[in-house]
Chains A and B, each alone.
Chain A
Amino acid sequence: MKILVAVKQVAALDEDFEIRADKKDVDEEFLLFDLNEWDDFSLEEAMRIKEESPDTEIEVVVVSIGPDRVDESLRKCLAKGADRAIRVWDDAVEGSDTVAIGKMLAEVVKKEAPDMVFAGVQSSDQSHASTGIAMAAYLGLPHAAVVADLKYSPGANKATIRRELEGGILQEVEIACPAVLTIQLGINKPRYASLRGIKQAAAKPIEAWSLGDIGMSASDVGEGSAMSRVRRMYVPEKGRAQMIEGTIAQQAARIIEIIKEFKGA
């Protein structure tokens, strides 16, 4: 019994960041990298299933497509209890769109043949919410997005899930397994990975796969084969909002002043 969890290392902006010279992305020097928040939940869901059935042998495999620095995030997953970690990378992957990433993940899934596949609903930096579903499409597997609750006994041929819809409505769905589920925040309470745990996980190997390992080539990925490309990244003009500083009394005085200005008094 095996659960595969696709995880992504996302970028967060540091204060006072700068846009790269080619204007297509933020200068990497101003980015702080961490595991996508959604992936904490999908890994936790896999761990929950594993731990709730101590008598069944369950392997949790985390997979990420990304450069070397992603190892740090994978180690965090290993520290939280994942059994194996796979990282696929080739410099040619740079600039790939979600569909290409989905295809690559699908190839990994084919090789690993898991009984269940999780991805996050979306990533916090790009928010396409399409990678998991693209992967499912390539695999031809049943899929469900925005899963907020999961009932699944390891190895069963179906699972009952609740999907989160607009306006706080839940939809209960029965899905045939293996399936690809994109997991929503709040499905569980992700565990804390202590730094000692992360350090100890450094001893566990991270399997480094190349494009060749998943039967793909440089021409299948990257900007060239992407169906969309970034033209420009920029900070929009500031609105009228401003931060009022000073003591409470000074702030109140300033607000009164502004109101008066608007009223034209």
Chain B
Amino acid sequence: MTNPIEITRILFEDFQPQTIHLFYAFGYSAIAIFIYGTYTQIRKYRRGKDDGSWGELLHRFWDMAKTMGSHRTLVRRDKKAGRAHGLIFFGFVLLFIGTSTITLEYDILEPLFGIKFWYGNFYLWFSLVLDIAGFGLILGLIYMMYRRKWLNLPKLSYARLDRQPGDPDFDRPQYRREDWAFLWSFILIGITGFVLEATRLVWLSGRPSVWDYRMWSPIGAALAHLMQGLGMTSEGASAFRPSLWWFHGLLSLTFIALIPRTKIKHIFTAAASLMFKDPLAGRRLPRVPDDQKNAGYKAITDLTWKNLLHLDACTKCGRCQEACPANAVGAPLSPRDVILSLREFANNALNKKELPKEAELDIHGKDVGQVFMETLWSCRTCLACVEICPVAVEHVPIIVQMRRHLVEQGEMEPLLEKTLQTIHKSGNSFGESKRKRAAWAKDLSFEIKDARLDPVDILWFVGDYASFDPRNQKVTQAFAKLMNAAGVDFGLLFEGEMNAGNDVRRVGEEGLYEYLATSNIQSLSDCDFNSIVTTDPHSYNTIRNEYPDFGGSYEIQHYSTVVKKLLEDGKLKLKKKLDYRVTFHDPCHLGRFNKGYDAPRDIIKMLGCDLVDMGRNRDNSFCCGAGGGRIWIPDPVGTVKPSQNRMNEAGTIEGLQVFVVSCPKDLTMFEDALKTSGYEGKFIVRELIELIDECMDYPEEILEKEVVAEIE
């Protein structure tokens, strides 16, 4: 039996002292380069504006650790890549801990305190774990190489929709080179590590304390046997070892030195980005301080340090681009490229010792690294990008901040400008008289309470589309009948209600938003009610998440939750069941924004319908194209609209009868798309309220029903 103290690896065995010193010199230089690089990165972030995300650091750290530990965000919608990354990540972490353990003993504990632990059983287990880790690392890297080379994934292409071939930043070959350099150097470090291990085994095959325990490093042992089989002797191994040792060592040190300057830095930036993640990103947009002269982002230095950090966290995985509805229909927008353009801009402008002149910091324009206004206006603020980003990049707040600048400059579509002026003048986007807001209620056989005069249990915030759009007014009336039939004590604000401002804010007209929000909060504060209900997910989002910043905290529910409860409590009774085959489109502002995925589906099932989800559902729902104020900006003629893209998806469901929506804008967008994409007569678009209405049996009928008649 060998003495456990001998079962170890003798570091720098057979090395000349000068050689060891030389190696240390390289090591310290690598660390110095690393530290300087880190310093320049931190200096870059510090050139951004303040951000209030410093609170609850422990909690944030724990959340980040859980996300990284579970690799939850990485396996989402791309299991294979996520798992391969897991192998690389955990492999790397273990190898890093391993190396640090050696340093801990060799450079700190032993010279200072004479403590040694890296021998015997500990050493053997250590070898085994690291062997497995290294093997996983290499497997993961091989899969990633295969994926990049042979899978031809569109999301990994760097060609851009917002640039033309021939433009200097069209497909950015330097990114491809960096990707491959990264993969090759990483895998070479792994492979040379194993070969080195095997060479040592062959070299010391005569020493029982090494050779007898070789199976604790199984990969190394297998390689050693292979090398012996190929005729390598102990002397041969001894001669071959030094050059390989240096190659492996220098490559590893270069790798470390370059972390802050290359994509490898995502190890740190992604972790930090996850840690400073804002759970309300995009749902609650940042306020513009009252004393700030100009709203929005004009210069790169207008971004907060957190924004700048997000830019560096992006790993170019392309998942956001893949989920982006604007990108899917060929609009000149990829959320990834917005982030990467700004990152390049920041690296050019903010990594220098001195900050360049003001004029050179402008992030809007047509130059390399600048973002086109067409790009910014293409965004639907649907949050698909923010939702899927594995490293918590928050694209939408940056896009909206940049739009705020465009709005101040008046750089927007004339039609959008008109709409904003109309909203300012009349309080609604339809340019209708305030007096007409509740005109739809006139046709009802019962009176709706005026919440400004009488206390009510539930205040119904109707929203513009549900109030003024003739098609949606029918739904609005149907909902009023439902509430009335269920005996709910509810009322309206009548002309006291204004456009809730959700989309105005997402357009970037912050001043108008503040005006609308504060006016509505004023109206609401004059009423006596317990909670708010709305059929409009856009109003729902801003009242729920953004009004609190302006002093209006209310309990608000989307109608689906309210109706579900009324049905469960038996306050609403279904007089018949429906047997339609239906699919459900999650509205962005109800689903992704506020996680209201289940209530509408539960109701659909209660109605007896056969619900078949589309491929892109729930958090991966595909925006109808109307978000972010795009409902006021016409899509270019001749292109497929996001709503048509969605219709085509629904069209693949066999025997589909009804495409169910639960958002007024969705009803408008999809009824239009149904016609323009050729599905008219195949299935119909209905608001969920209309389906519920179909199952009701009111004593007096006010509205004709067309639903049944139209289904073949």
Interface set of A (CB-CB < 8 Å, partner B) = 14-16, 32, 34, 191-192, 194-200
Contacts and interface: CB of A to CB of B under 8 A. Distances in A.
A3 B407 CA distance: 27
Interface in B396-429: 407-410, 412, 417, 420-421, 424-426
Contacts of B408: 194, 196-197
A192 B412 contact: yes
B512 A200 contact: no
B509 A194 contact: yes
Contacts of A16: 433, 435
Contacts of B420: 192
B514 to A, nearest CB: 7
Contacts of A195: 424, 509-512, 514-515
B293 interface: yes
Nearest to B511: A195
B426 to A, nearest CB: 7
B433 A15 contact: yes
B410 A15 contact: no
B407 A192 contact: yes
Contact of B511 (A15, A191, A194): A194
Given A14-B435, A34-B425, A196 B410 contact: no
Contacts of A32: 425-426
A15 B510 contact: no
A195 B420 CA distance: 10
Contacts of B511: 194-199
Nearest to B418: A192
A16 B442 CA distance: 16
B436 interface: yes
A15 B435 CA distance: 8
A196 B508 CA distance: 11
Nearest to A198: B511
Nearest to B516: A195
Contacts of B410: 191-192, 194
A237 to B, nearest CB: 23
Interface of B: 288, 293, 295, 407-410, 412, 417, 420-421, 424-426, 432-433, 435-436, 509-512, 514-515
A16 B410 CA distance: 33
A197 B514 CA distance: 13
Contacts of A34: 425
Contact of A200 (B293, B421, B425, B510): B293
Given A192-B412, A195-B512, A197-B408, 20 more contacts: A14-B433, A15-B432, A15-B436, A32-B425, A34-B425, A192-B407, A192-B410, A192-B417, A192-B421, A194-B295, A194-B410, A194-B509, A195-B424, A195-B511, A195-B514, A195-B515, A196-B295, A196-B408, A196-B514, A200-B293
A84 B420 CA distance: 26
A196 B420 CA distance: 13
A199 B408 CA distance: 13
Nearest to B426: A32
A195 B509 CA distance: 7
A224 B424 CA distance: 37
Contacts of A200: 293
20 contacts: A14-B435, A15-B435, A16-B435, A32-B426, A34-B425, A191-B409, A191-B410, A192-B407, A192-B410, A192-B421, A194-B410, A194-B509, A195-B424, A195-B510, A196-B295, A196-B514, A197-B408, A197-B511, A199-B511, A200-B293
Contacts of B288: 196
Given A34-B425, A191-B410, A196 B510 contact: yes
A143 B515 CA distance: 41
A195 B407 CA distance: 10
A91 B435 CA distance: 30
Nearest to B420: A192
- 7 nearest A-B pairs in the assembled complex, by CB-CB distance: A195-B511, A196-B511, A192-B410, A15-B433, A191-B410, A195-B512, A14-B433
B88 to A, nearest CB: 48
Nearest to A196: B511
B302 to A, nearest CB: 15
Q: Is the interface of A mostly helix, strand, loop or mixed?
A: mixed
A197 B293 CA distance: 9
A201 to B, nearest CB: 11
A15 B509 CA distance: 27
Contacts of B407: 192, 194
B440 to A, nearest CB: 15
Contacts of A199: 511
Contacts of B409: 191
A34 B421 CA distance: 10
A196 to B, nearest CB: 3
Contacts of A194: 295, 407-408, 410, 509, 511-512
A95 B175 CA distance: 72
Contacts of B417: 192
Nearest to B414: A189
* A14, A191, A194, most chain B CB atoms within 10 A: A194
A200 B292 CA distance: 10
Nearest to A14: B433
A188 to B, nearest CB: 12
A192 B511 CA distance: 13
A37 B515 CA distance: 23
Contacts of B436: 15
Nearest to A191: B410
Contacts of B426: 32
Nearest to B432: A15
A200 B290 CA distance: 9
Nearest to A199: B511
B85 to A, nearest CB: 44
A150 B433 CA distance: 38
A78 to B, nearest CB: 14
A14 B408 CA distance: 28
A235 B420 CA distance: 31
A144 B426 CA distance: 36
B428 to A, nearest CB: 12
A192 B435 CA distance: 27
B424 to A, nearest CB: 7
Nearest to B424: A195
A194 B405 CA distance: 10
A81 to B, nearest CB: 11
Contacts of B510: 195-196
Contacts of B514: 195-196
B439 to A, nearest CB: 10
A246 B142 CA distance: 64
A198 B515 CA distance: 11
A236 to B, nearest CB: 21
Nearest to A33: B425
Highest count of chain A CB atoms <10 Å: which of B420, B425, B426, B511: B511
A233 B621 CA distance: 56
A34 B425 CA distance: 8
A197 B510 CA distance: 10
A14 B495 CA distance: 14
A221 B425 CA distance: 31
A16 B420 CA distance: 23
Contacts of A192: 407, 410, 412, 417, 420-421
A122 B438 CA distance: 36
Contacts of B424: 195
Contacts of B432: 15
A262 B426 CA distance: 41
Interface centre among A15, A191, A192, A200 (most CB of B within 10 A): A192
Nearest to A192: B410
- Which of A195, A196, A197 has the largest number of chain B CB atoms within 10 A? A196
A96 B323 CA distance: 62
Contacts of A14: 433, 435
A251 to B, nearest CB: 13
A203 to B, nearest CB: 11
Contacts of A197: 408, 511
Nearest to B513: A195
A14 B412 CA distance: 27
A182 to B, nearest CB: 23
A91 to B, nearest CB: 27
